[in-house]
Amino acid sequence: MNGNQNAMDFGQTESVFIALKALQGIHQCEAELPVLLADVVHYLQGGERRKQQIERAISSDLRVRKQYRMLLQQMRVATAAREALAQDVAELDVRQGDGFRILFRRSRADAGQTYVILELDAHSDLSPDVDYMLLAEDEHTVVRLLFVAPDAGRSQTILPSDDGQLATLKKSDVELSLIPC
Protein backbone atom coordinates (compact mmCIF):
# COMPACT_ATOMS: atom_id res chain seq x y z
CA MET A 1 0.00 0.00 0.00
CA ASN A 2 2.85 2.31 0.80
CA GLY A 3 4.37 1.73 -2.63
CA ASN A 4 1.03 2.41 -4.30
CA GLN A 5 0.67 5.68 -2.35
CA ASN A 6 4.13 6.83 -3.48
CA ALA A 7 3.15 6.13 -7.07
CA MET A 8 0.07 8.34 -6.65
CA ASP A 9 2.08 11.19 -5.13
CA PHE A 10 4.54 10.98 -7.98
CA GLY A 11 1.70 11.13 -10.52
CA GLN A 12 0.19 14.19 -8.85
CA THR A 13 3.57 15.87 -8.60
CA GLU A 14 4.23 15.18 -12.25
CA SER A 15 0.81 16.57 -13.21
CA VAL A 16 1.43 19.75 -11.21
CA PHE A 17 4.89 20.09 -12.76
CA ILE A 18 3.48 19.70 -16.30
CA ALA A 19 0.72 22.22 -15.58
CA LEU A 20 3.21 24.76 -14.21
CA LYS A 21 5.49 24.32 -17.23
CA ALA A 22 2.53 24.83 -19.58
CA LEU A 23 1.53 27.96 -17.66
CA GLN A 24 5.10 29.24 -17.82
CA GLY A 25 5.11 28.69 -21.58
CA ILE A 26 1.88 30.66 -21.93
CA HIS A 27 3.31 33.58 -19.98
CA GLN A 28 6.48 33.57 -22.06
CA CYS A 29 4.37 33.89 -25.21
CA GLU A 30 2.59 36.91 -23.72
CA ALA A 31 5.82 38.75 -22.94
CA GLU A 32 6.28 41.94 -24.94
CA LEU A 33 8.89 41.91 -27.63
CA PRO A 34 11.50 44.68 -27.47
CA VAL A 35 10.79 47.79 -29.54
CA LEU A 36 13.24 47.94 -32.44
CA LEU A 37 14.18 50.76 -34.81
CA ALA A 38 12.01 49.20 -37.53
CA ASP A 39 9.04 49.35 -35.14
CA VAL A 40 9.60 53.07 -34.56
CA VAL A 41 9.85 53.70 -38.33
CA HIS A 42 6.62 51.75 -38.88
CA TYR A 43 4.94 53.79 -36.12
CA LEU A 44 6.03 57.10 -37.66
CA GLN A 45 4.65 55.99 -41.01
CA GLY A 46 1.23 55.47 -39.46
CA GLY A 47 1.40 51.77 -38.64
CA GLU A 48 -0.99 50.52 -35.97
CA ARG A 49 0.85 47.30 -35.09
CA ARG A 50 2.05 47.43 -31.46
CA LYS A 51 1.11 51.15 -31.28
CA GLN A 52 0.49 51.22 -27.52
CA GLN A 53 3.67 49.30 -26.73
CA ILE A 54 5.73 51.65 -28.92
CA GLU A 55 4.18 54.74 -27.32
CA ARG A 56 4.94 53.33 -23.85
CA ALA A 57 8.53 52.63 -24.92
CA ILE A 58 8.97 56.17 -26.30
CA SER A 59 7.81 57.55 -22.96
CA SER A 60 9.86 55.23 -20.76
CA ASP A 61 12.88 53.84 -22.67
CA LEU A 62 15.68 56.32 -23.33
CA ARG A 63 17.08 54.30 -26.26
CA VAL A 64 13.72 54.18 -28.03
CA ARG A 65 13.08 57.88 -27.29
CA LYS A 66 16.41 58.83 -28.88
CA GLN A 67 15.62 56.73 -31.96
CA TYR A 68 12.15 58.28 -32.18
CA ARG A 69 13.50 61.84 -31.98
CA MET A 70 16.29 61.15 -34.48
CA LEU A 71 13.84 59.68 -37.01
CA LEU A 72 11.35 62.46 -36.38
CA GLN A 73 13.99 65.11 -37.12
CA GLN A 74 14.84 63.38 -40.39
CA MET A 75 11.25 62.80 -41.52
CA ARG A 76 9.43 65.97 -40.51
CA VAL A 77 8.73 68.67 -43.05
CA ALA A 78 7.51 71.33 -40.62
CA THR A 79 7.43 72.09 -36.90
CA ALA A 80 5.59 74.29 -34.45
CA ALA A 81 8.17 75.19 -31.86
CA ARG A 82 7.57 75.35 -28.15
CA GLU A 83 6.10 78.68 -27.20
CA ALA A 84 7.54 80.64 -24.31
CA LEU A 85 4.59 82.31 -22.62
CA ALA A 86 4.89 84.92 -19.90
CA GLN A 87 1.71 83.69 -18.28
CA ASP A 88 -0.25 80.50 -18.02
CA VAL A 89 -2.78 80.12 -20.77
CA ALA A 90 -5.61 77.76 -19.90
CA GLU A 91 -6.24 76.66 -23.47
CA LEU A 92 -4.69 77.62 -26.77
CA ASP A 93 -7.03 77.96 -29.73
CA VAL A 94 -4.27 77.94 -32.34
CA ARG A 95 -0.71 76.65 -32.74
CA GLN A 96 1.36 78.25 -35.49
CA GLY A 97 4.08 76.26 -37.25
CA ASP A 98 6.42 76.59 -40.23
CA GLY A 99 3.99 76.59 -43.13
CA PHE A 100 1.00 75.29 -41.17
CA ARG A 101 -1.41 76.15 -38.40
CA ILE A 102 -3.34 73.91 -36.02
CA LEU A 103 -6.73 75.24 -34.92
CA PHE A 104 -8.83 73.90 -32.06
CA ARG A 105 -12.58 74.47 -32.42
CA ARG A 106 -15.35 73.09 -30.20
CA SER A 107 -18.06 71.28 -32.06
CA ARG A 108 -21.33 73.20 -32.25
CA ALA A 109 -23.28 69.94 -32.42
CA ASP A 110 -21.58 68.32 -29.41
CA ALA A 111 -19.74 70.43 -26.82
CA GLY A 112 -17.90 67.28 -25.73
CA GLN A 113 -15.97 67.16 -29.01
CA THR A 114 -13.25 69.39 -30.44
CA TYR A 115 -12.14 69.66 -34.05
CA VAL A 116 -8.40 69.68 -34.62
CA ILE A 117 -7.91 71.47 -37.94
CA LEU A 118 -4.72 71.47 -40.01
CA GLU A 119 -4.38 74.55 -42.24
CA LEU A 120 -1.54 74.72 -44.75
CA ASP A 121 -0.23 78.21 -45.51
CA ALA A 122 -0.83 79.16 -49.13
CA HIS A 123 2.82 80.11 -49.65
CA SER A 124 4.39 77.11 -47.92
CA ASP A 125 6.29 74.30 -49.60
CA LEU A 126 3.99 71.69 -48.04
CA SER A 127 2.20 69.60 -50.62
CA PRO A 128 -1.61 69.71 -50.43
CA ASP A 129 -1.83 66.29 -52.14
CA VAL A 130 -0.49 64.08 -49.35
CA ASP A 131 -1.73 62.88 -45.98
CA TYR A 132 0.07 64.28 -42.94
CA MET A 133 0.81 62.91 -39.51
CA LEU A 134 0.93 65.39 -36.62
CA LEU A 135 3.16 64.24 -33.76
CA ALA A 136 3.70 65.66 -30.29
CA GLU A 137 5.05 64.36 -27.02
CA ASP A 138 5.34 65.44 -23.44
CA GLU A 139 6.86 63.55 -20.54
CA HIS A 140 3.91 61.14 -20.32
CA THR A 141 2.05 61.12 -23.63
CA VAL A 142 2.91 60.54 -27.28
CA VAL A 143 0.33 61.93 -29.70
CA ARG A 144 -0.05 60.90 -33.33
CA LEU A 145 -2.93 62.25 -35.42
CA LEU A 146 -3.52 61.48 -39.07
CA PHE A 147 -4.87 64.19 -41.36
CA VAL A 148 -6.04 63.16 -44.83
CA ALA A 149 -4.76 65.21 -47.78
CA PRO A 150 -5.99 68.76 -47.23
CA ASP A 151 -8.85 70.04 -49.35
CA ALA A 152 -8.50 73.77 -50.10
CA GLY A 153 -5.57 73.80 -47.67
CA ARG A 154 -7.55 72.35 -44.72
CA SER A 155 -7.99 68.96 -43.13
CA GLN A 156 -9.56 68.04 -39.82
CA THR A 157 -10.09 65.32 -37.28
CA ILE A 158 -12.23 65.26 -34.17
CA LEU A 159 -11.33 64.31 -30.60
CA PRO A 160 -13.27 64.21 -27.34
CA SER A 161 -12.78 67.54 -25.55
CA ASP A 162 -11.46 65.79 -22.44
CA ASP A 163 -8.99 63.62 -24.40
CA GLY A 164 -5.42 63.54 -23.13
CA GLN A 165 -4.08 63.81 -26.69
CA LEU A 166 -5.93 67.10 -27.16
CA ALA A 167 -4.53 68.45 -23.90
CA THR A 168 -1.00 67.56 -25.02
CA LEU A 169 -1.44 69.26 -28.40
CA LYS A 170 -2.67 72.44 -26.71
CA LYS A 171 0.29 72.69 -24.34
CA SER A 172 2.45 75.65 -25.28
CA ASP A 173 5.66 73.91 -24.20
CA VAL A 174 5.14 70.92 -26.51
CA GLU A 175 6.74 70.90 -29.96
CA LEU A 176 4.55 69.77 -32.84
CA SER A 177 6.00 67.96 -35.87
CA LEU A 178 4.34 67.37 -39.22
CA ILE A 179 5.46 64.49 -41.44
CA PRO A 180 4.06 63.33 -44.79
CA CYS A 181 2.55 59.85 -44.96
pLDDT in tens, 141-167: 889 999 998 888 899 999 999 988 898
pLDDT in tens, 86-118: 555 556 688 888 889 999 999 899 889 999 999
Chain mean pLDDT for the chain: 83
- How many CB atoms are closer than 10 A to CB 178? 23
Instruction: Verify that 92 and 154 share a domain, yes or no.
Output: yes
Q: Which domain range does residue 3 map to? A: 1-31
The residues pairing with 178 across neighbouring beta strands, listed in sequence order, are: 78, 134
Which of 73, 121, 129 shows the shortest CA–CA distance to 100?
A: 121
Instruction: Verify that 149 and 65 share a domain, yes or no.
Output: no
The pLDDT value given to residue 141? 85
How many folded domains does the chain comprise? Answer: 3
Instruction: Verify that 46 and 93 share a domain, yes or no.
Output: no
- In whole angstroms, what is the distance from residue 66 CA to residue 104 CA? 30
Instruction: Verify that 165 and 84 share a domain, yes or no.
Output: yes
Instruction: Verify that 59 and 110 share a domain, yes or no.
Output: no
Q: Could you tell me the pTM of the whole model?
A: 0.72
**Sign of the CA dihedral running 167, 170, 171, 176:** positive
